[in-house]
Structure 1
Amino acid sequence: MEKVLAIVGPTAVGKTALAIALAQEFNGEIISGDSMQVYRHLDIGTAKATPAEQQQAPHHLIDVCDVTQQFTVAQFVAAARPLITAITARGHLPIIAGGTGFYLQALFDGLALGAAAPGDPALRAQLRAEATAHGPQALWERLRDQDPVAAAKIPPTNVRRTVRALEVIQVTGQLFSHQANGGPTYDERYLALTTDRQLLYRRINTRVDGMVQSGLLDEVRWLAQQGGADLPAASGIGYRELLPVLAQPDRLPAAIERVKQDSRHYAKRQLTWFKHQTTAVWYDLVQHPTQRQEIDQWVAQWLAH
């Protein structure tokens, strides 16, 4: 089963730097899991890895679309799956870095793309609580009893995948192994970064100021020349707030504050999503940089099994 490491968390928490460091240490290749970094020419506002950073480790799914093109979750899954297979075949570790949670959920859970996937948050929480109380093995054995085919493809230690399978079985009344669009099964792990909320918000504000100083407005002007607000890429934070001020420069300070506010709100949603939708292992490298040693040990132990 192909192993995939997903580095997730809110914006401005250090995912790019950690992904590069782990790629160098564990012979990895990075797949962007960000819905905006696929667009060419939008580098600053998307916090894309710089050319220098991209030279430090192989990167994929960056700069693959024009701003006039729509990039969907289905396209991400269709592109990521063969990349994972190819990277694994090279003897390397696929590392997905990014904050677009639904992309990862669709990839790992095989959601029926374009349709509402069946789910029951209360049931999911109950199953996770049972795994915590009685251990992952007990929950996996329940799945084995209900759907041996699915259980054979899911490691007993993969609580998130086990929970998802049992949830689908109970909600739909059908075996998880019979679900359409299931796709390949991975041995994936979520490594999540976080930090104190107010500290995170200050980092976001500082990052936005840095983006403006680095030329974000030039990217916005270029985007306006390509079609402006009507473009799929124009919905991204940093672009949608600043496009209107090109004709009203006096509103720039207020628009920059909106970029900061929208970025903070997005970070809060990211934190909530990853805490409730994944069984991630969480680290705070901003306040506790020595946790890097724990991360190294955690990844090494997972890869050894």
Structure 2
Amino acid sequence: MAKIVAIVGPTAVGKTALSIEIAKRFNGEVISGDSMQVYRHLDIGTAKITPDEMAGIPHHLIDICDIHDRYSAAMFKQQANQAITAISGRNHLPLVVGGTGFYLQTLTNNLALGQDHFDAQSARIRQHWHQLAEERGASYIRNCLAKLDPVAEKNIESGNLRRVIRALEVIEKTGRRFSDQPRQESPNDFLLIGLTTDRPVLYDRINRRVDMMVKDGLIDEARWLYDRGGADLPAGKGIGYHEFYPYFAGEYDLDTAIQKVKQDSRHYAKRQLTWFRNKMTVHWFDLVGGRNSPEQINELVQAWLIK
């Protein structure tokens, strides 16, 4: 049985910095638990860690896909488990770090998703829902999911029609809600550390992070993705990108696009907190607000490692 630390929480709350500190202290390697950081060239909008920030700590499941590739929770679970085995084999501590709730739940709760592939049944189901989306609009499809599985619908980011259809496909194929997939006992031992802070403080950090992303070149990065068909790509559905497409098309101004990125990011942070609190057993800490210290987290990790 491998011991794994998972650092979870909403965007802009300091997960990356904490992961580096713990990795240095306990000889760790980081596995990204972010569904967008797998894509090459999408660096600013995904808040991807830079080589300097890595501080020599090995990182896994970052920059492993092209923007035209599909990536799924089933693929993440398989590749993360492979990385855990390799890291543990080197007597290092695996650290899974990220905010994509369903990916992390899939790994820590060992959800039985099966293989994510295009068999005949899957193709028929997906074609059906895509056709309905063209005829009645994406909001109609989302409302269908909300009726069948309101928990899953609330935790899928705005504009991500592919994930909505994927959830509907799983429901139709398994007869179970997407948010309530069967689980098996995990063969590993996870310690889940969650970072949070007061909502106004978090929202202010998110707003300032978006401003910094814009200053660092987010608009050019979003334009690069848009020019390569981003509106129709799985990689192009992420927050920080799809909000700029109407601006590029002349449908509204730049300030409106930036405000939409901030709004979507705040809403996503709220959904992230709801997911982690309702779906996973987490030890919560507030480093931003000063209610807790990194040393308290280090002591928790140390005590857990020697159990």
The reply to whether TM is greater than 0.5 is yes
Quick one: distance in 2 between partners of 1:270 and 1:180? 21
Q: Which residue of 1 aligns with 2:234?
A: 232
Quick one: distance in 2 between partners of 1:110 and 1:228? 32
- Provide, for residues 117-144 of structure 1, a one-character-per-residue CA deviation record: whole Å limited to 9, x for no partner: xx9x9xxxxxxxxxxxxxxxxxxxxxxx
Is 1:77 aligned to residue 77 of structure 2? yes
Aligned residue for 2:243, secondary structure, equals coil
What displacement does 1:225 show? 2.3
Asked which structure has the greater CA Rg, the reply is 1
Kept in 2: contact 1:101–1:273 (CA 8 A) = yes
Quick one: distance in 2 between partners of 1:195 and 1:181? 30
Alignment of 1:108-147 (within 5 A): 108-113=108-113
Q: Which residue of 2 aligns with 1:269?
A: 271
Quick one: distance in 2 between partners of 1:181 and 1:197? 32
Q: Which residue of 2 aligns with 1:53?
A: 53
- Partner AA of 1:283 in structure 2: F
What displacement does 1:91 show? 0.5
Q: Which residue of 2 aligns with 1:22?
A: 22
The unaligned stretches of length 5 or more in structure 1 are 122-171, 173-178
Aligned residue for 1:191, secondary structure, equals strand
TM-score using structure 2 length: 0.76
Stretch of structure 1 that moved more, 62-71 or 100-109: 100-109
Q: Which residue of 2 aligns with 1:67?
A: 67
Aligned residue for 2:205, secondary structure, equals helix
TM-score using structure 1 length: 0.76
- Provide, for residues 170-219 of structure 1, a one-character-per-residue CA deviation record: whole Å limited to 9, x for no partner: xx9xxxxxx98748511001100000100000000000000001000111
Quick one: distance in 1 between partners of 2:41 and 2:188? 32
Kept in 2: contact 1:24–1:56 (CA 8 A) = no
Quick one: distance in 1 between partners of 2:251 and 2:23? 42
Runs in 1 of length 4+ with deviation above 6 angstroms? Answer: none
- Partner AA of 2:72 in structure 1: T
The root-mean-square deviation of aligned C-alpha atoms, in Å, is 2.2
Q: Which residue of 2 aligns with 1:6?
A: 6
Kept in 1: contact 2:276–2:282 (CA 8 A) = yes
Q: Which residue of 1 aligns with 2:162?
A: none
What displacement does 1:248 show? 2.0
Q: Say how many residue pairs are matched.
A: 245
Q: Pick closer, same or farther for the CA change 1:290–1:183 going to 2, 3 Å.
A: closer
Alignment of 1:33-44 (within 5 A): 33-44=33-44
Q: Which residue of 2 aligns with 1:212?
A: 214
What displacement does 1:251 show? 1.1
Kept in 2: contact 1:77–1:103 (CA 8 A) = yes
Aligned residue for 2:253, secondary structure, equals helix
Quick one: distance in 1 between partners of 2:227 and 2:203? 32
Quick one: distance in 1 between partners of 2:244 and 2:4? 36
- Partner AA of 1:229 in structure 2: A
Q: Pick closer, same or farther for the CA change 1:92–1:289 going to 2, 3 Å.
A: farther
Quick one: distance in 1 between partners of 2:108 and 2:198? 29
Quick one: distance in 2 between partners of 1:208 and 1:298? 32
Kept in 1: contact 2:33–2:97 (CA 8 A) = yes
The unaligned stretches of length 5 or more in structure 2 are 117-148, 152-175
What displacement does 1:17 show? 0.4
Stretch of structure 1 that moved more, 201-210 or 183-192: 183-192
- Partner AA of 2:272 in structure 1: Q
Q: Pick closer, same or farther for the CA change 1:231–1:283 going to 2, 3 Å.
A: same
